[in-house]
Amino acid sequence: MKHLRLWYMLCHVNIIISCMFIIFYFIDRVNPAMEFMDSTLSKGLLFVFCLSILAASILNARYLFRMMRGNARRQKLQNKTAKGK
């Protein structure tokens, strides 16, 4: 359950940071002198964003692997019971 809560939190963090980068991009296009895309804040946010995406992807892959493994076990059990009848 903790992993699911962490996954939900990471999904929301990813949405927030990606929205920030979209806003930074458009503000940087309007006023390039402010250098939103070249600032240390943007670089730090990009690093956090990459780590967050990596963690969310690992949790997602782990969840899918467990779900596929559970489905395979369930299918194997159903095949055994069907052969027994």
What is the model's pLDDT at position 1?
Answer: 66
Q: Coil, strand, or helix at residue 47? A: helix
* pLDDT tens profile 15-46: 898 889 889 888 888 988 888 888 888 889 99
Query: What are the backbone dihedrals phi and psi of residue 31, each rounded to the nearest 5 degrees, phi first?
Result: -130, 85
**pLDDT at residue 2 greater than cutoff 90:** no
CB burial string 17-30: b at 16+ within 10 A, e below: beeeeeebeeebee
Predicted local confidence at residue 63, as pLDDT: 86
> In this structure, how many other beta carbons lie within 10 angstroms of the beta carbon of residue 45?
16
Domains of the chain, residue spans = 2-84
pTM of the model: 0.68
46 CB neighbour count, 10 Å cutoff: 14
Task: Name the residue type at position 43.
Answer: K
